[in-house]
A = this chain, B = another copy of it.
Amino acid sequence: MAYTSKLIEEAINEISALPGIGKKTALRLVLFLLKSNPEQTERLATSLHKLRSQIQYCQKCHNISDTTLCSICANPHRDTGLICVVENIQDVIAIENTAQYKGIYHVLGGLISPVEGIGPEQLYIEHLVQRVQQEQPQEIIFALSTTIEGDTTTFYITKKLKEFPVKLSNIARGVAVGSELEYTDEMTLARSIKERILYH
């Protein structure tokens, strides 16, 4: 596309580099910003800059955080005897939105996937084993996607944790088989956590 402004061209190129946003949408967003209050663009630009330069990951659970310990791990009202194992940050957000879970988390950072070449050593699995050893929780709840990768990962970690005196459970399969956890509605997700199935 031909633009008569380098400033617009650069902004469109950067916006359309985001997933799912094409040049036409980027142009529409740019023109929206140009019509709006200048402060709106300034707030957007500043929030993106601050996000990327200041974000941290919780040293305990690997959840995204503004400090070295995330607000969930730092909260004295959370049940530290209960660790919910999830694939990623979206899943933490999804479960937190149910307002039903009072334990803490462990974010793996992915799932074991031989197809994509992701092995256990690339995930925070060893750190989970260390946490079980040190923190001695009563129960580990697996809340991974009901896919082959999710099942493989649960199976792998289960074997690793066999020797420890910790209960292992899986969230109830109210979550549709083959579906991603983050797209599950809050009701289903809340229920599947409540009705989790103990298997060790």
Cα distance A40–B14 in the bound complex, in angstroms: 8
Chain B nearest CB, measured from A53 CB (Å): 7
When the two chains form their complex, are residues B41 and A5 in contact, meaning their CB atoms are under 8 A apart? no
The interface residues of chain A, by DSSP majority, are classed as helix
Cα–Cα, bound, A34→B71 (Å): 19
Q: In this complex, what residue of B is CB-closest to A98?
A: B2
Residues of B within 8 A of A63 (CB): 4
Considering only CB atoms, which chain B residue lies closest to A53 in the complex? B38
Which size bracket describes the interface of A in this complex?
A: 35 or more
CB-nearest residue of chain B relative to A33? B52
Q: A10-B51, A51-B34 are in contact. Are A2 and B44 (CB under 8 A)?
A: no
Interchain CB contact (< 8 A) of A93 among B1, B66, B90: B1
Contacting pair B72 A43 (CB below 8 A): no
Contact between chains at A44 and B34 (CB < 8 Å): no
Question: A59 interface residue, CB < 8 Å from B?
Answer: no
A6: chain B residues within 8 A (beta carbon): 66
Least distance between A177 CB and chain B CB atoms (Å): 22
- Shortest beta-carbon contacts, A-B, top 6: A41-B52, A45-B49, A14-B44, A45-B48, A11-B51, A45-B45
Q: A19-B28, A19-B29, A20-B28 are in contact. List 12 more A-B contacts (CB 8 A).
A: A3-B93, A4-B65, A4-B71, A5-B71, A10-B47, A18-B29, A18-B44, A27-B90, A30-B51, A41-B48, A42-B49, A45-B49
Can you name 20 A-B residue pairings with CB atoms under 8 Å? Answer: A1-B97, A2-B96, A4-B63, A4-B70, A4-B93, A4-B96, A5-B70, A7-B51, A7-B54, A10-B47, A11-B50, A14-B40, A18-B33, A18-B44, A19-B28, A19-B29, A20-B25, A31-B90, A34-B64, A41-B48
